[in-house]
Amino acid sequence: MKKSLFLILGIFLAIIVSDRIVYGVIKHFEKQIFIGDSAGKVNYFNKIKDSTDILIFGSSRAVHHLDPKVFGESCFNMGVDGKRIAYATGLVQTLKKKKQTVFVHIDHVKLFDSQYDGVDVLTLLNKTSDNSQLRSFLMDVFPEDVWISDVFKCYSYNGKVFPILKNYVFQNKNVKTDGFAPLAPDEEQKAIFKNMVKNRKDTLLRTLNKPYVVNPLVEKCIDRIIEMGRQNKSEIIFFTSPSLFQIDDEVRETVKSYFNSKGVNYIDDVDFFKGIDYDLWQDYTHMSVKGAELYSEHFYREFQELKNK
């Protein structure tokens, strides 16, 4: 039994020591990268967030659709593929600058998606040691994961090692970006998409089952973002970018009323483009660079109108 206890203790100690060493090495590399969705873009964001006037958050439908250039120099698009409201909230929690404008993308369907558990925010786990607001948000949503990452530090870099190493090797020394990532589908991709549309059997209109209940976690995130806006005297604007999937008018009205009741601005552009122009789209939910340019200009005008109200 004694031998066994020593073995268990030995394994535990070896894991803890190795964990700290590996974590230290990865962190050393990670700190120096400013490209890539897994860690670099967040580092870049942390570098510029307190000197930027306008910030855009959201999923692929934010990062590929809104060109910050239309807003001038001081705008950054912090949208990331596959990330949703919990991730955006985590980042918004870290803002300190007063009187910023913060755009947050939200999809109608996702607002009512009862399956959404906010797991996308866990990619920010490696930043909890640097930021207490982010840590408190994560503790609120995923306490287990924060505890595990306190004991096993490497846990916070789960799924990030290869991208960090790749970006460390390949990034340019003086990275400068506005975060926007336009999509430029090639002829083959266009043909595939055309084919998909041609063979599609069901309608592009999405409906939801009643009653429309906002996911409690999404609600919590929205409230946190609004609260941060109040504290920093920043302007918060939620928006829905264009999609070929259209949504029931009743759902759209419900979303509009929801944000009205919260006292925040909401821009719904889901039907900005009428019909399908294949030059403007990469797929059903993502616009091409051409579509994004047209939309960004339109969005800028909508923003000006809101400001002048």
Element (H, E) at 240: strand 235-240
| Cβ atoms of 286 and 60 closer than 8 Å | yes
User: Smallest distance, Å, CB 214 to another protein?
Assistant: 24
Residues ≥6 apart with Cβ < 8 Å to 12: none
Let me know if 235 is exposed, middle or buried by CB neighbors in 10 A (0-12, 13-18, 19+): middle
CA distances for 215 relative to 107, 109, 118, 120, 222, angstroms: 12, 10, 10, 15, 11
Q: Does 8 bind another protein (CB under 8 A)?
A: yes
- Considering only 109, 139, 148, 264, the residue that binds another protein (CB under 8 A) is 148
Considering only 17-25, 174-182, 288-296, 298-306, which stretch makes contact with another protein by CB under 8 A?
Answer: 17-25
> Judged by CB under 8 A, how many residues of this single chain contact another protein?
27
Site for another protein in 68-107 (CB under 8 A): none
- In the bound complex, what is the minimum distance in angstroms from residue 77's beta carbon to another protein? 21
- Only segment of 148-156, 231-239, 274-282, 291-299 that touches another protein (CB under 8 A): 148-156
Give yes or no for residue 205 binding another protein (CB under 8 A).
Answer: no
Q: Which of 30, 35, 38, 288 binds another protein (CB under 8 A)?
A: 38
**Judged by CB under 8 A, which of 46, 131, 133, 158 binds another protein?**
158
Q: C-beta of 286: minimal distance to another protein in Å?
A: 15
Q: Which two tokens stand for residue 195?
A: 């084919």
User: Which residue is it, tokens 């991730």?
Assistant: 87
Does residue 161 touch another protein according to CB under 8 A?
Answer: yes
Is there binding between residue 157 and another protein (CB under 8 A)?
A: yes
C-beta of residue 234 within 8 angstroms of C-beta of residue 103: no
Q: How far apart are CA 19 and CA 2, in angstroms?
A: 25
SS3 48: helix
128 vs 240, beta carbon nearer another protein: 128
Binding of residue 152 to another protein (CB under 8 A): yes
89 in Cβ contact with 121 (< 8 Å)? yes
Instruction: Tell me how far apart the alpha carbons of residues 261 and 258 are, in angstroms, rounded to a whole number.
Output: 5
- 159 part of the interface to another protein, by CB under 8 A: yes
Contact set with another protein (CB under 8 A): 1, 3-4, 7-8, 10-11, 14-15, 18-19, 22, 38, 119, 144, 148, 152, 154-155, 157-159, 161-163, 192, 196
